[in-house]
Structure 1
């Protein structure tokens, strides 16, 4: 019967080291850098869009876009700087994009003007597609590598 060793750390497991190296390689390709940069810009745009488009009079929708946009930008920054450690959070990015799309109809009191609808659908769609692309980076390298 094998006796478990005490004090051993998962950080030194050979499979974990190899997996992190693989994800680091996947995150350093030009395609990955483009997706991560576009994701970061999409998050920043979502955060400032209430003031760009002019729907900052709806405070609940403006706060939602601000918080979701900043969260998306921070998530994208994490993908860009430490993809090997943040790749498991990739599933949250498409959900944040989907929330931006539907938030205008879910939040009570949000004005339903054409500019708000078009802004949130396009920005949320770009964010969701960027999130799916980030998820695809990890999955693509897993199959090939």
Structure 2
């Protein structure tokens, strides 16, 4: 018998997989990664005003604000329900790569040293934390529990 698509939400395998992801997220590594990812997103959002390039490079400032808010929302979603949002764990890595290269893409030769250094460090931190979220303990084993 074929199950309707709407009935898959309650399928025992999906329920078990979500519980497994939620358990992995509730480890100390998960807590630390989620918290640091949230702080990184908040910092990225306010960094143009902290570092002082918001007035001189408005396009990069808007980019950092939007990317920082997105990362902050993702970190909050991971904290609230990693079992349902684990499929988005690659997004901080992608946004980290974008943050790393964005001073040259957006402002080219006019990017200031402060904005470049800020985005390089913040981008690398986002990449590392995103990779940690992708490989939380108990998820990446590749073997199903029996």
Shorter-chain TM-score above 0.5: yes
Residue correspondence of structure 1 range 1-145 to structure 2 within 5 A: 3-5=1-3, 9-57=7-55, 58-108=57-107, 111-137=110-136, 140-143=138-141, 145=145
Output the CA distance in 1 between the equivalents of 2:45 and 2:5: 44
Output the CA distance in 1 between the equivalents of 2:60 and 2:47: 10
In the TM superposition, what is the alpha-carbon distance from 1:59 to its structure 2 partner?
1.0
Aligned residues: 142
- CA distance 1:48–1:7, change in 2 (3 Å): closer
Tell me, yes or no, if the aligned pair for 1:98 and 1:128 is still in contact at 8 Å.
yes
Output the CA distance in 1 between the equivalents of 2:51 and 2:3: 59
- CA distance 1:6–1:36, change in 2 (3 Å): closer
Describe the SS at the equivalent of 2:36.
helix
- CA distance 1:36–1:7, change in 2 (3 Å): closer
| Stretch moving more, 8-17 or 82-91 | 8-17
Output the CA distance in 1 between the equivalents of 2:14 and 2:115: 45
Q: Structure 1: which 5+ runs fail to align?
A: none
Q: Structure 2: which 5+ runs fail to align?
A: none
Normalising by structure 1, we get a TM-score of: 0.90
